[in-house]
Copies of this chain bind each other. A is one copy, B any other.
Amino acid sequence: MPSYRAPVEDTLFLLNDVFGFHRYDNLAGFSDASPDVVEAVLNEGAKLAETVLAPLNAVGDREGCKRHPDGSVTTPTGFKAAYDAYAQGGWMGLSLPEAYGGQGLPHTLNCAIQEFASSANLALGMYPGLTQGAMAALLVHGSDAQKQTYLPRMAEGAWTGTMNLTEPHCGTDLGLLKTKAVPNGDGSYSLTGTKIFISAGEHDMAENIIHLVIARIEGAPAGTKGISLFVVPKVLVNADGSLGARNGVSCGSLEHKMGIHGNSTCVMNYDGATGWLVGQENRGLNAMFVMMNEARLAVGIQGLGQSEVAYQNAVAYAKDRLQGRSLTGVKAPEKAADPIIVHPDVRRTLMGIRAFNEAGRALILWTALQADIGHRSDDEAQRRAAEDHMGLMTPVVKGVLTDKGFDNAVAAQQMFGGHGYIEEWGMSQFVRDARIAMIYEGANGIQAMDLIGRKLPKDGGRAMMAFLGEVQTFVKDHGEDEAMTPFTAPLQAGLNDLQAATMWFMQNAFSKPDNAGAGATDYMHLLGLVAMGYMWGRIAKAAIAAKASAPERMEAKLVTGRFYMERILPETAMRLVRIKAGSETTMALPVEAF
């Protein structure tokens, strides 16, 4: 039976020592997040994750969700009670403005809690997770009346939210969507169509479900320029806020998935369902992007979350399982064999996951902090820089943390030998659950294309130049410090590879767009490697400074960081070689040759 312990101590170290969280007291909500409040919030979140969510993880996997003939859906045993505990703890509205019933705390804290929930129970955590995404879109693009109608009930957890984008023939290419919206003449629309892969589309946890749905208004232009966003409640809401009649939207079936069995993934049928426009006509994609950026960061967190919980269980097993003897002499003479953690190949695996997890957590908190600055700063230049950062790093957080998070779950499972393949041990579930994060909210290839096609060239490459400059400055500032050399020297090498790759695209991709497409995924990983290398540089700096107060913990940080620098970061060179190979052999074969 797998276990989970939330990394509160590491999160506090990152917030306080690495990122100087309290230097941002001037931002709205940050002054309420005093050090003791932050610690209390994290500890409470940890308790919820460890004692309420985690024990239901295997239950959800085993039982799955059940759809009944009337279209209603039952979630696994215990899920509703756990969701109630989540909602009653005020977690849903943690960073929502107080005006709508939230607590107005920094989104950064919310992201830390999302990690805990994702590790503990990914499928369960998605119900509130999607609600937060829907709230974000309503908050930015909804009318005042819509915000007043929906947000307070969602913030308290009485109602949940969904995102309805995908249709059977239309995934990445939203321009192909067919769901139709016909004006009813009273300001509302009548929506008809089929949406698929709708997470938390129907369930028994909340009294209402607020669907955000993209559709094409009758007569709107074809393609993505004719897409509008609608809010479609499962149960219509009366003027006084009470619940009225059932709307014309229902769950047609549940998908039979590889993992996240505890989440109800629905085919949703809209049969003349009543909806209201959110934001402007035909500008639905803009509104959707708010939700998607929020969701993409959250999905990156899920990748980290599965990597972390898989790591913790692999460590426990490696300390416990006796098999073989150490290459350097018997370590546990009183036992029939040594615990397998003595074996270098086992250590290599564990260190690799750990080095990723700690840097990945830093990357998420750093990026979440930029999101807070982007939303809450009064300083326009600071806000713009933060938004640049968010735009650049969102596809990296989503794409790299989920790719590597999955790989790490697989590597952790491998530590169990044959037991890893047996469902009762729980490692298979981590792998199966982690797999979805590479796919949804834009498959990782799409993240790579977003990075290279949109984020990189935007504003003349301003965001990328800023990132390269920041890392270069860090290396320069600390390159003379002998204690930092094991970090700054490899970081410079990685940075050089990233600069060379960026330059190569500037010279070779405008004239030949296939070169961009063929190198996109490698570039996304190259940027991720350097960004996490930079995180290790900053962690190392903080660890050296804090060494006196926590010598063993800080020494472990420094060793783990050096492992990253020696064994993981050098992958940048391989990525660069692949990018520079261009697209010739990639694209040379005629389609018939496949």
Contacts and interface: CB of A to CB of B under 8 A. Distances in A.
Q: Chain A: interface secondary structure?
A: helix
Contacts of A560: 585, 589
A248 interface: no
A592 to B, nearest CB: 8
Given A319-B591, A348-B521, A552-B593, A445 B414 contact: yes
Nearest to A556: B593
Given A341-B591, A585-B351, A258 B428 contact: yes
Q: How many copies does the complex hold?
A: 2
A440 B418 contact: yes
A436 interface: yes
A345 B562 contact: no
Contact of A586 (B255, B315, B347): B347
Contacts of A255: 422
A345 B559 contact: no
Contacts of A196: 418
Interface in A296-346: 315, 318-319, 322-324, 327-328, 336-337, 339, 341, 343-346
B439 A414 contact: yes
Contact of A421 (B337, B435, B559, B586): B435
A520 B422 CA distance: 26
A169 interface: yes
A97 interface: no
Interface in A573-591: 573-574, 577-578, 581, 583, 585-589, 591
A551 to B, nearest CB: 12
Nearest to A340: B172
A173 B324 contact: yes
Given A414-B439, A438-B414, A587-B344, A323 B176 contact: yes
Contact of A345 (B169, B258, B448): B448
Nearest to A557: B593
A586 to B, nearest CB: 5
